[in-house]
Amino acid sequence: MESNQSSGYIVHTWSGRSYRLPIDRDQFSSLLSYVDEMIALHGCDNTLQHAETWARAHKVAWFKLNRSLRSLGGFCDCEIGLNTVADGEEEPEDW
């Protein structure tokens, strides 16, 4: 049984679709910043190897995460951040 993974985090793509990830919001932002950092250091080699490394380090089932990332268009590390829209970070109405 998996604990701490009750609901998952819903991400949205630019085309307006939403996908449920098998990780929570904090894990997703951790994944994004890790992948970002690795791409900055090593570049993207058109695989999801950095995401996979992250998943293993965080004991996240890679086959599930891999499938979710691909379904939202993240076929390599740099596409994960490109294809998802950060939630709740719209400019606040300034009144």
Which parts of this chain interact with Zn ion (CB under 5 A)?
A: 44, 76, 78
Four-point Cα dihedral 12, 18, 23, 25, nearest 10: 40
Least spacing, CB of residue 5 vs Zn ion, in Å: 27
Which lies closer to Zn ion via its Cβ, residue 5 or residue 66?
Answer: 66
Which lies closer to Zn ion via its Cβ, residue 62 or residue 75?
Answer: 75
In this structure, are residues 30 and 54 in contact, taking their beta carbons and an 8 Å threshold? yes
Which lies closer to Zn ion via its Cβ, residue 24 or residue 62?
Answer: 62
CA-based torsion, 41, 22, 59, 62: positive or negative: negative
Least spacing, CB of residue 21 vs Zn ion, in Å: 19
